[in-house]
């Protein structure tokens, strides 16, 4: 996309809209604002956006309803949901329904810019796929696809249920292809508890964007793949085998699986 990316910010509080718009201004995007889901739909119909950043909880047409209506019209804009902690489960569900990702409150300007950057790169990645272009990655890496039998937070993380009932977790290959060159990977420690929708790892790229990987299945971390923290190439080249990140003992497996997308 040679033109400036167009972003629509949706929140019923004008101060929040202005704050988000201000955070995105350094990236030279074209940023519009809407104070309701109804206004957002009217603006989206007239001027198609690359990314829509919307509050999940709004009077009238909620962020979830806005998402459904936007996706009903086609792939269109990448939708990012803003959520508070009590709504994390709803945010995970929103990805299953077609949202690109979500950002929990409170968040920093860099958190927001990192996520919008990845959303735009994901859009370019999908356009290259449709056009049959290899893009900047090596050809052998382009052959990677999600194996059968996994449960995913699309374009973010994956979970594989082991024979002993534990769950192996990793990072979705599209996530890894839509960030800059990896400069660090931050993983949790063994015995820590992570719930579905919380960050289970953070990946920093060469643009100093910090990207959060969501926990697909909540539980206790029983093993960490320290190799990927030392050799980032394992993540990119073999994300579903050698590039796994965590092994977890699940605590609400059946409930969590309902929010995930099976491969």
Can you give the pLDDT at residue 237?
92
Can you give the pLDDT at residue 131?
65
pTM for this structure? 0.88
Please, what is the Cα angle at 192 between 168 and 219, to 5 degrees?
Answer: 45
Whether 158 contacts 260, CB under 8 Å:
no
Which residue is listed with tokens 């810019």? 113
What domains lie within the chain, and their CATH numbers? 6-131 (3.40.50.2300), 143-262 (2.40.50.100)
Longest dimension (CA), the chain: 53
DSSP string, 88-123: HHHHHHHHHTT--EEEESS--HHHHHHHHHHHHHHH
Whether 169 contacts 244, CB under 8 Å:
yes
Can you give the pLDDT at residue 15?
95
Can you give the pLDDT at residue 132?
65
Which residue is listed with tokens 């309803």? 65
DSSP string, 151-166: EEETTTEEEEE-TTS-
Can you give the pLDDT at residue 3?
82
Can you give the pLDDT at residue 138?
45
Helices 88-96 and 63-72 sit at what angle, rounded to 10 degrees? 0
152-172 burial, b at 16+ Cβ within 10 Å, e below that, comes to bbbbbbbbbbeeeebbbbbbb
pLDDT tens-digit series, residues 105-153: 889 999 999 999 999 999 888 777 666 654 544 444 456 889 999 999 9
Q: Is the predicted pLDDT of residue 163 greater than 50, yes or no? A: yes
216 SS3 class? coil
Q: Which two tokens stand for residue 52?
A: 């829509």
Q: Is 49 exposed, middle or buried (0-12, 13-18, 19+ CB in 10 A)?
A: buried
Q: Rounded to an integer, what distance in angstroms lies between the CA atom of residue 20 and that of residue 15? A: 9
Give the chain's mean pLDDT: 90
> Prior bond to 106 cis, omega within 30?
yes
pLDDT tens-digit series, residues 51-85: 999 999 999 999 999 999 999 887 789 999 999 86
Q: Long-range CB contacts (< 8 A, 24+ apart) of 101-107?
A: 101/155, 101/156, 102/56, 107/82
Q: Which of 50-54, 84-88, 248-252 has the lowest mean pLDDT?
A: 84-88
pLDDT tens-digit series, residues 180-233: 899 999 999 999 999 999 999 999 999 999 999 999 999 999 999 999 988 999
**Cβ partners under 8 Å of residue 112, min gap 6:** 20, 23, 24, 53, 103
Helix H segments across the chain? 14-24, 37-46, 63-72, 88-96, 109-131, 139-142, 173-177, 226-230, 233-237, 253-257
């Amino acid at each position: 996309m040679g033109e400036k990316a167009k972003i629509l910010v949706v929140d019923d509080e004008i101060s929040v809209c202005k704050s988000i718009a201000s955070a995105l201004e350094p990236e030279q995007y074209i940023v519009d604002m809407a104070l309701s889901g109804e206004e957002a739909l009217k603006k989206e119909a007239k001027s198609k956006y690359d990314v829509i950043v919307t509050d999940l909880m709004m009077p009238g047409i909620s962020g979830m309803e806005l998402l459904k209506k936007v996706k009903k019209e086609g792939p269109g804009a990448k939708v990012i949901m803003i959520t508070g902690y009590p709504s994390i489960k709803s945010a995970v569900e929103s990805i299953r329904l077609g949202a690109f990702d979500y950002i929990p409150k409170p968040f920093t300007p860099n958190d927001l810019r990192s996520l919008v950057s990845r959303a735009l790169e994901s859009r370019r990645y999908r356009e290259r796929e449709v056009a049959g272009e290899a893009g900047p990655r090596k050809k052998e890496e382009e052959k990677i696809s999600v194996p059968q039998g996994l449960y995913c937070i699309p374009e973010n993380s994956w979970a594989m249920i082991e024979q002993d009932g534990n769950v192996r977790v990793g990072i979705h290959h599209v996530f890894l292809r839509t960030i800059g060159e990896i400069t660090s990977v931050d993983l949790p420690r063994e015995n820590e508890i992570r719930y579905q929708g919380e960050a289970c790892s953070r990946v920093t790229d060469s643009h100093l964007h910090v990207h959060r990987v969501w926990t697909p299945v909540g539980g206790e971390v029983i093993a960490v793949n320290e190799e990927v923290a030392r050799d980032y190439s394992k993540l990119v080249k073999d994300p579903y085998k050698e590039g796994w990140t965590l092994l977890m003992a699940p605590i609400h497996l059946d409930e969590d699986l309902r929010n995930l997308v099976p491969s």
